[in-house]
Every structure is written in structure tokens, then in C-alpha cells.
Amino acid sequence: MPINAFLLLGAALFSIGVYGLLVRRNAVLILLSVELMMAAVNINLIAFDRFLGDEMAAGQVFALFAIAVAAAEVGIGLAIILLIFRNRQSANVDELDLLRL
């Protein structure tokens, strides 16, 4: 298996995630795009782990850590969105312009 195939897939998934991040207005859907980018990064970590044949399996271990941090991020992110929704009755990021002059 050429490593480029995995790297290109990871790059494509990451770019699609960036596209979603820029295009979406709903905060929950923005978090979904971030999750997509996390998956792309994990693919790269595992592919490089196998490519380098690391005896310490650093790629796999840090992919596990990345998954755990992603889960924490989603939990906090959804809690914040929930609070915003409770106060503003909307999860649309365009309407969160309280700091705009």
C-alpha cells in the first residue's frame, strides 16, 4: 500500500472538513466538521505509525489520545452550544454578534 494514498485521503477529508467549517452556520454542524478533521488527522497518525514501523507505537498511542481529547472537546462544545441556545434561542453562529460594534 503506498503511503501517499492514505495521506491524500487524509488531506481530502481535512479539506472537506475545512469547507464545512466555513460554509455551515449551525454550531452543531460546525462541530461535526471539526470531528471530520480529527478523523483525517488520525488516519495520518496511524499511516505514519505503520510506515515508520515504530517499536514504541507512538502514532497509535497518540491517535488514542487524540480520540480522547476529541471526545472531551465535543462534550464541552455541545455544553457551550446548549447554553448559548438557552440564552439566545438560536444555534446560528451568525446571530452571535453581541461583541460587534
- For residues 53-82, which are near another protein according to CB under 8 A? 53, 56-57, 60-65, 67-76, 78-82
Q: Does 26 bind another protein (CB under 8 A)?
A: yes
Pick between residue 76 and residue 100 the one whose CB is nearest to another protein: 76
C-beta separation of 20 from 33 below 8 A: yes
Residue 24 binds another protein (CB under 8 A): yes
Grid coordinates belonging to 86: 438557552
Q: How far is the CB of 79 from another protein (least distance, A)?
A: 4
Least distance between another protein and beta carbon 101 (Å): 22
Q: CA nearest 67: which of 45, 48, 52?
A: 45
Instruction: For residues 98 and 60, give the distance between their C-alpha atoms in angstroms, rounded to a whole number.
Output: 42
